[in-house]
Amino acid sequence: MPSLAPTDYVIIACYLGLSLVLGLMMSRRASKSLDHYFLGGRTVPWYLLGVMGMANWFDLTGTMIITSFLYMLGPRGLFVEFRGGAVLILVFMLAFTGKWHRRSGCMTGAEWGIYRFGDNRVSQALRLVSAAIAVLTSIMVLAYLVRGATLFLGMFFPFPAHYTTLALIIVTTIYTISAGFYGVVITDLIQGVIIIAACVIVSIMAWHHVPDAGHLAAVAQNVTGNPEWTSSLPSWHTPMPEGYEAYSGLLVLAAFYLARQIIGGLGTGAEQRYFGARSDRDCGLQSFQQALMISLRWPLMVSFAVLGIYFVASHYPDPTVVRHAAEIVHAHFPQTTAAYWHDLTGAIINHPERYPADLVAGLQATLGEDWRRLLPLVGVHGTINPEQILPAVLLNVIPTGLKGLIVVAMFAAMMSCKNGLVNSACSFFVKDIYQHFLRPRATNRELLGASYLATLVIVLAGFLIGIATTSINDLWGWISMGLLSGQLAPGLLRLYWWRCNAWGCIGGMILGGVAAIAQRLVAPGMSEPYQFLFAGGLSFFGTITLSLLTAPTDRNVLRNFYRTTRPFGWWKPLRDELPREQRELIARENRTDILTVPFGMLWQVTLFLLPMQLIIKEYSSFRHTLPLFLVGALGMYFFWWRPLNARSKLATPLPPEPDPSPTK
């Protein structure tokens, strides 16, 4: 089996060693207090927070999933990832939700609930529920990352993929535990540089590999069966391979995903990099930087897809051999499930002497003498597994030395996302559960010890769930359209509706979370739109119903929240209390914030499309997309960039005033 060269392994070892050293170097600074451990003392400059955000979005598993859709669909794969991978919610964080959450002075989203609803029994219960759900969600996202890592690492190391993944996670967990937020930021900076270098190098390779758009379109049609592979526009019906038929109605699905992102984006911003920002301006600037840097991910992924198409075309000229190879493996191991298919094929590749001679002979006769190189792409359904395209290209197309650098970039993508996720989940447990409810008088040393233990438990839980997952795309679909959708209503309504209270948020969170988990257990095959409607619908029902059936939040608490955060929406009772001049200033800020969103989305989507069109040499599409990009950029300039500094007039919260009238 082809494997990494010694030079590649040296590069990987040096990178992992450097990560550990950095983590140990930052441990002393991180241990000063919880504020330093989880938020870097709120002194981290915006550009480093922007790099951290980019690295968190640039996860390995998501990169593999999106590459698989770009391999199947071409640039139109971007529209499938309106469900989350295109990070359209960044526009909302850039425009207003990031700064709204920063103005609270809180450390976690669960703590933010006290600021919004007051310090009472119900709010304390909400804080506990919020923290518990945040930890659960983090564990499931970590499981998704682990599953992607097993698929990736199983292609490069002659050991069981689960053990290799566990070893890598142990290394990354050590420096996450040691360095906290500081380590995450510093290592993300190094990893960001590596990732950018990989994006540029692979993109140049792919561009040189494509003779012209017409040639690529013909090869892609033979390989994927898609006659419009180079098109950038979604259509009513798109040919999809077995297992992906649910995505054939791409245009309708893209519109649905876009609506989902708008609803979700309106409630975002409760993240460490915004709580830890130094000013409102820094929230916007770091979001803008994240969008610019994450745009490099798309030419990288479409480059892997292009190189994958040419690799499959040259090594699998007869697609029936893929099905025959899968049938041979199934005949010997009929009970193998999709979750363990690639563990089995990896073991056959690495240790053929341990398996029946007729199995090995059959694979060799079907796939040829190079069967050990070709078997990893054979999927459980007897088709090319698109989720394996990225590691297959890395292993078989990228030259030695450069291969090690890009593998390190993929490691960096995985580690950055995993470390930021674990650090955030740990902050919820320690700050909102352990310190607040269990040990309010705990010393700083005890709290840091609890942080270390919580990190280990969260990582272990995510690992065990991840190795039992059948498909990274299936798990990501459920996380984004089921589990996260079940939490949409509380996150949205508490920002825009004054009557939303803590009871409503508790009801919406629990009802939405239970609905998502029940659907996964009882009806795992439910389509993504129905998952969203089921979990999201129950979440909105629970939030609205319980809010109206219980007493509203104390007026002084609401007044403090509105005067500090200054959101738009249904806040008329609080807005009317302000002097006319203040109302006009807030309305002006809200107006430009809202107008930023459509232009920002147009700018971001076209920013992702343009480099992909260049790489596949679809210059006609590029010329049509460029004017749309310029329109989006112009709107961003007038509605976001120009007012950015002028908004400092409202930097200081308005003082709360007593309300002589009874609560309505």
**What is the secondary structure of 207-229 as a DSSP string?**
HHH-S-HHHHHHHHHHHH--TTT
d(CA 205, CA 303): 8
Tens digits of residue pLDDT in 395-406: 888 888 778 878
pLDDT for res 100: 94
**Of 190-199, 281-290, 363-372, minimum mean pLDDT range:** 190-199
**154-175 mean pLDDT:** 73
Is the pLDDT higher at 101 or at 142?
101
Which DSSP category does 480 fall into?
A: I
Alpha helix stretches (DSSP H) within 74-160: 77-80, 89-92, 98-102, 109-117, 121-153
For residues 368-395, average pLDDT: 86
Residue 521's contacts (CB-CB under 8 Å, 6 or more residues apart) are none
Compute the distance between CA of residue 93 and CA of residue 54 in angstroms, rounded to an integer: 13
Instruction: Choose the weakest-confidence range: 448-452, 546-550, 630-634.
Output: 448-452
When the pLDDT of each residue in the chain is averaged and rounded to a whole number, the result is: 83
Confidence of residue 647 (pLDDT cuts 50, 70, 90): low
In this prediction, residues 52-70 reach a mean pLDDT of: 81
pLDDT at position 266 over 70: yes
Distance from the first to the final alpha carbon of the chain: 72
Q: What is the dihedral of CA 323, 327, 329, 335, to 10 degrees?
A: 120
- Would you list the domain boundaries of the chain? 6-312+400-650, 317-383
**What local confidence, expressed as pLDDT, does residue 334 receive?**
87
- The label of the residue with tokens 């996302």 reads 417
Q: What is the pLDDT of residues 423-461, one digit of tens each?
A: 677 777 887 788 878 888 888 778 778 877 888 888 888
CA dihedral 71, 482, 462, 524 (to 10 degrees): -80
C-alpha 590/C-alpha 125 separation (Å) is: 32
From CA 33, how far away is CA 41, in angstroms rounded? 8
> Could you tell me if 271 and 106 are in contact, meaning their C-beta atoms sit under 8 angstroms apart?
no
The yes-or-no verdict on residue 10 having pLDDT over 70 is: yes
State the fold for domain 6-312+400-650.
Answer: Sodium/glucose cotransporter (1.20.1730)
| Range from 11-20, 263-272, 631-640 that averages highest in pLDDT | 631-640
Residue type, 99: K
Binned at pLDDT 50, 70 and 90, residue 473 comes out as confident
**Predicted pLDDT of residue 496:** 96
Share of the chain above pLDDT 70, in %: 86
